[in-house]
Structure 1
């Protein structure tokens, strides 16, 4: 039996939401493993992905050309609420069937792309802000297959960097991160 993407998103959310809640306002200007993003930028990006992929699940358009600033008011609780809506949107009957989005990709692939952002950016934020993060193991397996399939295209489009070498016996999350161009050993003071 195939696992619904909403189940993987729910498992990833259980790990990512506490990390977002744990980000101190004083860390918003800090660097992240995504060299082009500060913590604030990455939070806004992830927030925008969570909101945009709700629309994609409902077969509506999502605009990723600009990223609004979501970090006002009680943004931590809003992120948790929006992530719950993301899970519900992908749990709706038929959400992960057929094709969706302006890229005309299989809906399940698009849902997995949302899962990738929630999982990998959850790690990015945890690493940047000194928090613990243990991703859902089944999500990592799902995403490893996605990256194997879509990685070359993502690298061509500059969504991923070139793969980073990992030590023998590296944990599956380290292999996944390295395949997206991240250094699994990154820390705020570390520059590659």
Structure 2
């Protein structure tokens, strides 16, 4: 896939490919012994976070196929611990296949935040994947490095669709917090979505 920009906005598929590949590496690195560890996403431990990554990736795959993504559970609660990494790889592969058709980018689709063009939906899932990848990276002790371009794209999406004043019980992200001094783009993204690095208080 190549990145193409048209009057309706950029093609998010290459970034979704990269974002889910980055997530795949971290999901594969998470061992069941770490599954009860906390993450910056306060309501999720490591297992719940990975389960959510599987669920939302399955959801955007179904959206790309023209199905009802809202009917797909946002968690993979029935998947055994030792099978979660494979479940994520399978969900990622299904999503990449589902979005091959260029026509899906401009078709209206239903996602939890409303009815939007496919490209906007997929961009939103890039943001979610990148954000939760940072959550997992923090929880696992920051192994390796993360792709800064993905964070820049996700931050742009977050600032557009989740302005600081749009938070509350119906929005699954907390109020913005101050980014740590000298924060990189991931730190800025996390702060915009109400997160702080583990060990730091909001």
How would you bin the TM-score normalised by the shorter chain? 0.7 to 0.9
State the TM-score, normalizing by the size of structure 1: 0.86
Question: Pairwise mapping of residues 1-192 of structure 1 onto structure 2 (< 5 A)?
Answer: 1-2=4-5, 3-62=10-69, 63=71, 67-72=75-80, 73-101=82-110, 103-132=114-143, 134-152=145-163, 155-156=167-168, 157-167=170-180, 169-183=182-196, 186-187=197-198, 189-190=199-200, 192=202
Q: 1:66 to 1:4 in 2, by over 3 A?
A: closer
Deviation at 1:167, TM superposition (A): 4.2
Show structure 2 runs of 5+ residues with no match.
none
Q: Is 2:134–2:186's contact at 8 Å kept on the other side of the alignment?
A: no
Q: Quick one: higher RCO (CA 8 Å, sep 6+), 1 or 2?
A: 1
Of 101-110 and 116-125, deviating more is 101-110
Q: Considering only aligned residues, what root-mean-square deviation do their CA atoms show, in Å?
A: 2.2
Q: Is 1:19–1:131's contact at 8 Å kept on the other side of the alignment?
A: no
Deviation at 1:90, TM superposition (A): 2.3
> Once the two structures are superposed, what CA deviation does each residue of 1:51-89 show, in whole Å capped at 9, x if it has no partner?
011011122102256634153253312311221222222
SS at match of 2:104: coil
> Once the two structures are superposed, what CA deviation does each residue of 1:13-49 show, in whole Å capped at 9, x if it has no partner?
2211010000011111111111111111111111100
Deviation at 1:154, TM superposition (A): 5.3
Deviation at 1:91, TM superposition (A): 2.8
State the TM-score, normalizing by the size of structure 2: 0.82
* Corresponding residue pairs, total: 189
